[in-house]
Amino acid sequence: MKNNVKYIVKKVIKPIKGRIKVPGDKSISHRAVMFGSLSNGITNIKGFLEGYDSLATLKAFKEMGVSIFGPKNKKLCIKGVGIYGLKNPKNKLKLGNSGTSMRLLAGLLSGQKFKTQITGDKSLSSRPMNRVAIPLRLMGAKIKTYKNGRPPIKIIGNRLQGIKYIMPIASAQVKSCLLIAGIYAKGETKIIEKGCTRDHTERMLKNFGYKIKTKKSTISLIGGYNLQATNIKIPSDISSAAFFLVAASIIPNSELLLEKVGINPTRIGVINILRKMGADIKLLNETNWCNEPVADIRVKYTSLKGIDIPKDQVPLAIDELPILLVAAANAEGITRLRGASELRVKESDRIISMAKGFTCIGVKNKVYEDGIDIIGTKNYKGGYINSYGDHRVAMSFTIAALKASDEIIIDDCINVSTSFPNFKELSNNIGIKIKEVKI
Ligand code: S3P
């Protein structure tokens, strides 16, 4: 089996222009499958992300006895089994590279009447799970991690009790895990957030008719109610759109229109930060799909300047920070990122993966425990980059290559398919040529 993919990318000589629609939002796709499965009735989903991560969630629910038809043309039809209708899966649930699947499922499985084991690939197996295991135990969960709080996780379903939990880190995955566990808990589950994080769980629970209260940074729900099936239309993922927002911002005379992108206020840190750097970004045709704001995004080239990235924007741009660092490398002056230690526990240590790649192509940088400084330059070279199997690092250096003096070879790009399966094809459509070598 060919399991290593390299990208070879050369500098672009022409501006990039056109209209594109990037695939469906990953976070919303996971949640649509989860809540559709737990609801009473039939849920039809449009715009589902057919990437390995959301497919891992889908497979897990099929293995727990849910009938799911599709995906076909990004459509799914789910016959919900109700909150108590899941069946004991025959085997361990394998969740690949997907941290969201693992952390959200940990909450869900803690409240079932059966035992399960959840595992992941090499990257996921090195990611911290105590952030969910510790509060879940406070709710009464019987949950056991492997060494140092790493996966695999063994869960014996148990009766749960609502808790009040002050989150020590800003994490939508932890918040969502506890809210989902809260559906199975006796009484109220109350989560107090440290920083604002994506609120797709809260919005989608409301779509499925579940009562959930949000007051400033406190989110609460009472366990034991049913979810009512509903139809879900998923917007394009702003995290995938971000690669093209930056590409068009750094390549002279470029102009792109990104269609029907989710612009939930808890996800638009990338737009806020790019605008602060001077980017020309406009939101057009704003609308709302299933409680999620959506717009077409028009981006035009302008010269960017280095900035101190506002700390409050970090959780709102958490997945877009690697590509924002590429914007910083092409900006005039220094960009400073701090308050981003969460980057160290993503699919790779993204501070190190990005720093190593930049050093290789001659972009000066300085690493800090919780961030990095990038010194913008007009001229950086080509080189051989290791993505460390991290999809967002691989795509970020693909975009960086469009401005490098020589070609950039990016190694270990197979995981691009976890979040953006047609990245190469869409890029090619707007004049970004990616040569793919399968080994
Ligand atoms: C996600 C939350 C974020 C993000 C991840 C998806 C989600 O993680 O990095 O890609 O769908 O809830 P954290 O909440 O752990 O920061």
Residue 30: per-residue pLDDT: 98
pLDDT band at 194 (very low <50, low <70, confident <90, very high): confident
Pocket test for ligand 1, best of 318, 390, 415 (most atoms within 8 A of CB): 318
**Is the beta carbon of 34 within 6 A of some atom in ligand 1?**
no
**Is the beta carbon of 131 within 6 A of some atom in ligand 1?**
no
Token pair 């108590």 is at which residue?
84
Distance CA 13, CA 389 (A): 29
Tens digit of each residue's pLDDT (9 = 90 or more) over 197-216:
999 999 999 999 999 999 99
**Residue 28 CA to ligand 1 centre (angstroms):** 11
Average the pLDDT over 249-268 and give the result.
Answer: 98
**Residue 387 CA to ligand 1 centre (angstroms):** 19
**Is the beta carbon of 176 within 6 A of some atom in ligand 1?**
yes
Residue with CA at minimum distance from ligand 1 atom 16: 171
CB 78 within 8 A of CB 65: no
Distance CA 56, CA 336 (A): 36
* Residue 123 pLDDT greater than 60, yes or no: yes
What is the DSSP code string of 175-228? HHHHHHHHHTEESEEEEE-SS----HHHHHHHHTT--EEEETTEEEEESS---B
Average the pLDDT over 224-232 and give the result.
Answer: 98
Distance CA 439, CA 437 (A): 6
Tens digit of each residue's pLDDT (9 = 90 or more) over 35-46:
999 999 999 999
| CB-based burial, 176-193: b 16+ in 10 Å, e otherwise | bbbbbbbbbbeeebbbeb
**Residue 64 CA to ligand 1 centre (angstroms):** 24
**Residue 437 CA to ligand 1 centre (angstroms):** 30
Average pLDDT, the chain: 97
Name the active-site residue from 199, 319, 373, 412: 319
Q: Which of 373, 374, 369, 324 is nearest to 342 (CA)?
A: 369
* Residue 378 pLDDT greater than 90, yes or no: no
Average the pLDDT over 158-183 and give the result.
Answer: 98
Residue 114: per-residue pLDDT: 98
**Is the beta carbon of 39 within 6 A of some atom in ligand 1?**
no
Amino acid at 143: I
Average the pLDDT over 274-292 and give the result.
Answer: 98
**Residue 433 CA to ligand 1 centre (angstroms):** 30
Tens digit of each residue's pLDDT (9 = 90 or more) over 44-53:
999 999 999 9
* Residue 166 pLDDT greater than 90, yes or no: yes
**Is the beta carbon of 237 within 6 A of some atom in ligand 1?**
no
* Residue 270 pLDDT greater than 60, yes or no: yes
Q: Clarify whether 280 is annotated catalytic.
A: no
Residue 371: per-residue pLDDT: 98
Residue with CA at minimum distance from ligand 1 atom 5: 100
CB 15 within 8 A of CB 89: no
The 3-class SS string of 246-302 reads HHHHHCCCCEEEEEEEECCCCCCHHHHHHHHCCCEEEEEEEEEECCEEEEEEEEECC
Q: Which atom of ligand 1 is nearest to the CA of 131?
A: 15
Residue with CA at minimum distance from ligand 1 atom 10: 319
Residue 2: per-residue pLDDT: 57
**Is the beta carbon of 123 within 6 A of some atom in ligand 1?**
no
**Residue 318 CA to ligand 1 centre (angstroms):** 8
- In angstroms, what CA-CA distances link 67 with 37, 62, 64, 398? 8, 6, 9, 38
Dihedral sign (CA 169, 175, 176, 180): positive
Distance CA 179, CA 198 (A): 13
pLDDT band at 134 (very low <50, low <70, confident <90, very high): very high
How far from chain centre, in Å, is Cα 185? 27
Average the pLDDT over 180-185 and give the result.
Answer: 98
- Domains of the chain, with CATH numbers? 5-24+235-438 (3.65.10.10), 26-233 (3.65.10.10)
**Is the beta carbon of 103 within 6 A of some atom in ligand 1?**
no
How far from chain centre, in Å, is Cα 19? 23
* Residue 320 pLDDT greater than 70, yes or no: yes
Dihedral sign (CA 333, 338, 341, 346): negative
* Residue 1 pLDDT greater than 80, yes or no: no
pLDDT band at 121 (very low <50, low <70, confident <90, very high): very high
Average the pLDDT over 405-418 and give the result.
Answer: 97
**Is the beta carbon of 172 within 6 A of some atom in ligand 1?**
yes
Express as a percent the part of the chain with pLDDT over 70: 100
pTM above 0.85, yes or no: yes
Structure tokens at 198: 């994506």
Distance CA 431, CA 43 (A): 38
- Counts for the chain of helices (H) and strands (E), in that order: 13, 25
**Is the beta carbon of 171 within 6 A of some atom in ligand 1?**
yes
Average the pLDDT over 81-96 and give the result.
Answer: 98
